[in-house]
Structure 1
Amino acid sequence: MITLGILTLGQAPRTDIEPTFRAILGDRIAFRQRGALDGLGAGECARLVPEDGESGIETCLRKQDGVVRGVLVAKRLLLPRLIAAGRKLEAECDALLLLCSGRFPELKRAIPRLIEPITVIRSVVAALAGHGHLCVIGPASDMEAAPAQWRSSAARVSTAAASPYGGREALVRAALRAREAGADYVLLDDMGFTELQRRTVRDTSGLPTLSATSITARILQELV
């Protein structure tokens, strides 16, 4: 059986995301997970928050009852921990996936065989929405940069903020905003979004809805 390593920016295991991968990949692979923030308590994670004007990344911690909650951490403080966790995980698996739709050049240089979903996601989005209007839904901390990041993949890009770790109401509002903006496609641009959330956005907006998570899982199907 092939072992797929899943490297997350927050804390493992990501039991919220595993069902999406399992539904597509089936039982022929085993999952092994590590997170950059594994072993840290809430107080230690609080010391990783971005300073004023500093770039931050939203990821998740796990409560004792297993409920996922979002946390914003500074990228410069997260990166060394992410590289260390990735190197440990690389030795334990056959393929290694970054559970994030962002770019981490330093991480890729440190672990060359790491699979970065963003490359595949951009190609799929460009093939579908290259001449259309794409609405990107993701954490508020990512939305300012989103238009520039996706400009080469769609003729027009708009955004609507909603965290995968927030409530359903925010997701519904974002879906309605996408419809009102006249979007042709919606992209859930965060690997934290689940299949249930994708269906919520699709059903609410009435628009074809792409998910970074499910796109990645379907490509992995060809590799494993």
Structure 2
Amino acid sequence: MARIGVLTIGQSPRLDVTPAIQQIVGNEVTIIERGGLDRITPETLHLISPEGADTTYISKLRNGQAVKIGKTKLLPLLQEELTALENEVDIVLMLCTGDFPTLKTRKPILYPDRILTHTLRSILPEGEKIGLIIPLEEQREALSVKWDQSGFELEIEVASPYEESDPYAAGASLKKRGVSLIVLDCMGYQAEHKMKAKQGSGLPVILSSSLVARLAQEYVT
């Protein structure tokens, strides 16, 4: 039986996301999950908080609580879990749209940020204006820098998949600013967030998790 590893930057299992991935890849595929924060306890949670100018990520703990994570503190924890996970699976799916060039693995790994940018380049002309919906205001600058290298003009709205937010209004705002397509730039977004953004904008909306899951399914089956 084919085995896909799902590596979250938070804690596993990700019951908010993995069931939808399982539905796409099929029940004949086994999903094995690990998380960068799996060994973090409530007492040590403060040790992974962002500091200074460090890149901030957001994910979920096992109890459903959203948590902000500093990238510098996350990387060694993530590498440790990845090294263990690669021995159990055929391919790894990174459950984050951030960029992790320092991670090392002997197995194929699907990085959503690379898949997103290459997919958009294949379907849109250079210079096209796209809209991003992102989880946190403090991610705006870093994501602008990252996406500026993609060759697209950007408009950004914030609507978190982990807290009370309004993807409908975010989609409507991006539509008014002339974007031709919207990307939900976090693996925590789900089909309901896509539906609301699509209803608000009337535009194509790319859900990162389903796009990457379909590629994983193509690889293992």
Task: Work out whether the TM-score is over 0.5.
Answer: yes
Counterpart among 124, 127, 133 of residue 129 in structure 1: 124
Aligned to 2:155: 158
Whether 1:79 and 2:75 are equivalent positions in the alignment is yes
Deviation of 1:38 (Å): 0.8
Q: What does residue range 59-98 of structure 1 map to in structure 2 within 5 Å?
A: 59-63=59-63, 68-98=64-94
Deviation of 1:118 (Å): 2.0
How many equivalent residue pairs?
218
Instruction: Summarize the Cα distance change of 1:175–1:32 in structure 2 as closer, same or farther, 3 Å threshold.
Output: same
AA at the equivalent of 1:16: D
Aligned to 1:4: 4
TM-score of the aligned structures, taking structure 2 as reference length: 0.91
Deviation of 1:154 (Å): 4.9
1: CA distance, partners of 2:125 / 2:23? 29
Deviation of 1:123 (Å): 0.9
AA at the equivalent of 1:161: V
In structure 2, the residue corresponding to 1:213 is in which secondary structure? helix
Whether 1:105 and 2:101 are equivalent positions in the alignment is yes
2: CA distance, partners of 1:39 / 1:148? 32
> CA-atom RMSD, angstroms?
1.8
Instruction: Summarize the Cα distance change of 1:202–1:78 in structure 2 as closer, same or farther, 3 Å threshold.
Output: same
Q: Is the 8 A contact 2:169 2:197 kept in 1?
A: no
TM-score of the aligned structures, taking structure 1 as reference length: 0.89
Q: What does residue range 11-22 of structure 1 map to in structure 2 within 5 Å?
A: 11-22=11-22
AA at the equivalent of 2:83: R
- 1:112-135 Cα distance to aligned partner (Å, 9 max, x none): 632222222111112233342100
Structure 1 unpaired stretches of 5+:
none
1: CA distance, partners of 2:4 / 2:190? 19
Deviation of 1:70 (Å): 1.9
Which is further off, 71-80 or 118-127? 118-127
Deviation of 1:104 (Å): 0.7
Which is further off, 72-81 or 41-50? 41-50
Counterpart among 191, 202, 215 of residue 211 in structure 2: 215
In structure 2, the residue corresponding to 1:105 is in which secondary structure? coil
AA at the equivalent of 1:4: I
Counterpart among 98, 103, 111 of residue 116 in structure 1: 111
Deviation of 1:77 (Å): 0.8
Deviation of 1:152 (Å): 4.1
Aligned to 2:143: 146
Q: Is the 8 A contact 2:157 2:170 kept in 1?
A: yes
Aligned to 1:41: 41
Q: Is the 8 A contact 2:132 2:157 kept in 1?
A: yes
Aligned to 1:30: 30
Q: Is the 8 A contact 2:110 2:212 kept in 1?
A: no
Whether 1:181 and 2:183 are equivalent positions in the alignment is no
In structure 1, the residue corresponding to 2:147 is in which secondary structure? helix
Deviation of 1:54 (Å): 2.5
Instruction: Summarize the Cα distance change of 1:127–1:152 in structure 2 as closer, same or farther, 3 Å threshold.
Output: farther
Q: Is the 8 A contact 2:133 2:158 kept in 1?
A: yes
Deviation of 1:214 (Å): 1.2
Q: What does residue range 167-206 of structure 1 map to in structure 2 within 5 Å?
A: 167=164, 169-206=165-202
Question: Could you tell me the percent identity over the aligned residues?
Answer: 29
- 1:152-198 Cα distance to aligned partner (Å, 9 max, x none): 4454211001221122x432332222122121100001111112211
AA at the equivalent of 1:130: P
